[in-house]
Structure 1
């Protein structure tokens, strides 16, 4: 029996739940015309909360309404790729001139039999390439005549080179001022997005709609598990569904992991399609084992040594930690520890949990740290030789 779940980053789940309001805001922006604030939208959140999935959905919603979509990733060279490949490809499909020459291919010969593909095309004549703004202007002029628009999406903004983003954002700002039919949606990790917005040249993005993607409500989690299971021919008991739901902690990527490993455990061990609490417990356990290498390890790699020390010190507690206690374990004063507390909150790795208390945001992070770090660390090990001056971490 086919497993309905796809626990891969950036792959749309069989049922997207808990994001209706954010998607409705984007649709309203597309349909409201130039000037709608949602025509520039940023999605932030931890790894695995569905940022790329939201971009996928935004692109689908735009295409359904006749918009042209150009999708990019925020790695160095983004403007060169847009100017040299992405935008010219769209222009060729639409037969829009973006380089001073015709973009339509010409038929030069036909050889029989025609149905076997005996057709020769001559590519459009080479021309001096227009810059980013000129190409976007040409495309949006054409699309405006057809009552549609251009959506540009950029994933992994935390990896973007600053110079490329400055040029792209400056161009988008001109397009918005000229009320062109254009929209932008980007996604990235919280602290890096904040750092990007603090750039004096990128102030335009501060006016973008920002959606911080967090945990999904338990009722939505249950729907995200039960509906695909039933559609694939599985049955799940109420007790098993409750166990699987609680096992995800509302974390979107873990929903897919739990669903996938519950199905796989069942098909490997029992000749049945009924998921009971035994199968659900095995699925949750298998999913959590894999969460560490897929989510926790990459998240910790982005941090400074002191950031990781702070998080490891928290793992010694059974629940929410006091900042004063963490400072004591690190051998620093509370003001110094508070600066790292703010950094980790901005990175969405910890969250306030009552007066003077903090807790992890990623499910199972405490257990992961205990297994990989805290089990061999005592309070003396947590004391740095000399406090460093906090500076923004890269890549969070």
Structure 2
């Protein structure tokens, strides 16, 4: 049978774990009506923690309760796509005039013959008007409108400002609306510090973190058993521990371990081989993308951290970079904001994504050379 695991960005996993509180908060917000805090939310976290998956689950919750949903990604043309989606949604409603026969034109009589008068051009309401027009029949039937926007960032700041301003008006008018946006920690940080997007500062912040290993173990075991494959307890221990509770790694490990089942059974050796394959794949899909978005000095900081087997002392990192503590603090804060590293105690930092330390050790020469070339 097909592999039950889904290690693809944005793909919904067979079992969603560790997000019950986020989903329940949203369900309650829909029930509590306009003004409920969960109706305006920011979902953030490092790459691979499942932000897109959570958005999909929130959309499903809204749809099952009768809400109209618009799901978008913050790419060029965002504002216009949201507007058009609202117009099209209105036209598909049973109560919408758009369901009636469209006027193609009419003829009026006059001396000497008849004149064909074309219909007026189609209306093109702005975003606020389009959303208000859609909401009227939607609210009459006791539901509302959810808009989700994934991968928010500063490049689309103008469109995000207009969308936020429109929702601010709708919230002020007690309309049945919800807005949920998702992005990396650094992107969300930029939005919250924008002078115009102050509306979003009052949003519920849902920071997605790693999942407890006990939940990971249950998810792996349940998914594998559902595919008519067995896994030994020892192999399950190896697979569970290797994920580090990182949601994307759960799918990667599960996928590669499942592939190595022999006669329908996954033994320890197969689990170890699957984990090794998953680590390689994690480097090419997550670590490379994370590091590519950073400056050369950011990467130099991480290479300095990678010399330690556990949490790094910031004073040691500064010494390895031949810089003072004030200089080190700038890059430490940047990397924490980006969700690449995390505080690990007074004067300590650690990697926020599993196996990044090992990946950097394997590629240290490359990133050290980039850092030196930048300084020169």
TM-score under structure 2 normalisation?
0.92
The C-alpha deviation readout for 1:212-265, integer Å capped at 9, x for no partner, is 101000011011111111111011111111110000010000000000001112
RMSD, aligned α-carbons: 2.1
CA contact (8 A) 2:300 2:367 kept: no
Distance 1:11 1:105 in 2: 38
Q: Within the alignment, does 1:147 sit opposite 2:142 as a pair?
A: yes
CA contact (8 A) 1:96 1:139 kept: no
The C-alpha deviation readout for 1:62-107, integer Å capped at 9, x for no partner, is 0010000011101121111122x3112111111565xxxx412539
Closer/same/farther in 2, CA of residues 34 and 160 from structure 1, 3 Å limit: farther
Residue of structure 1 equivalent to 2:171? 176
Q: Which runs of 5+ in 2 are unaligned?
A: 104-118
Q: Within the alignment, does 1:208 sit opposite 2:203 as a pair?
A: yes
Closer/same/farther in 2, CA of residues 224 and 126 from structure 1, 3 Å limit: farther
Distance 1:226 1:260 in 2: 13
Distance 2:23 2:58 in 1: 7
Residue of structure 2 equivalent to 1:196? 191
Distance 1:90 1:306 in 2: 48
- Match for residue 319 of structure 2 among 320, 324, 328: 328
Distance 1:107 1:147 in 2: 28
Residue of structure 2 equivalent to 1:91? 90
CA contact (8 A) 1:75 1:159 kept: no
Q: How many residues align?
A: 361
Of 315-324 and 188-197, more deviation after overlay is shown by 315-324
Distance 2:241 2:224 in 1: 17
Closer/same/farther in 2, CA of residues 377 and 199 from structure 1, 3 Å limit: closer
Residue of structure 1 equivalent to 2:108? none
Q: How far is the alpha carbon of 1:375 from its aligned partner?
A: 7.7
Q: Which runs of 5+ in 1 are unaligned?
A: 109-123, 387-396
Residue of structure 2 equivalent to 1:58? 58
Residue of structure 1 equivalent to 2:237? 242
Of 61-70 and 325-334, more deviation after overlay is shown by 325-334
The C-alpha deviation readout for 1:255-295, integer Å capped at 9, x for no partner, is 000000011122xxx3x111111111111111001000100
Q: How far is the alpha carbon of 1:34 from its aligned partner?
A: 0.2
Give matches, 1:150-299, under 5 Å.
150-158=145-153, 160-266=155-261, 270=262, 272-299=263-290
Residue of structure 2 equivalent to 1:137? 132
Distance 2:77 2:95 in 1: 24
The C-alpha deviation readout for 1:139-197, integer Å capped at 9, x for no partner, is 11211111100000001012651110000000000000000000011110001101111
Residue of structure 1 equivalent to 2:348? 357
Distance 1:126 1:230 in 2: 59
Closer/same/farther in 2, CA of residues 365 and 93 from structure 1, 3 Å limit: same
Does the residue aligned with 1:173 lie in a helix, a strand or coil? Answer: helix
Distance 2:291 2:95 in 1: 46
TM-score under structure 1 normalisation?
0.87
Residue of structure 2 equivalent to 1:31? 31
Of 202-211 and 310-319, more deviation after overlay is shown by 310-319
Does the residue aligned with 2:143 lie in a helix, a strand or coil? Answer: coil
Residue of structure 1 equivalent to 2:336? 345
Does the residue aligned with 1:106 lie in a helix, a strand or coil? Answer: coil
Distance 1:370 1:89 in 2: 52
The C-alpha deviation readout for 1:289-325, integer Å capped at 9, x for no partner, is 1000100000111111211111111112222111111
CA contact (8 A) 1:329 1:383 kept: no
Of 189-198 and 310-319, more deviation after overlay is shown by 310-319
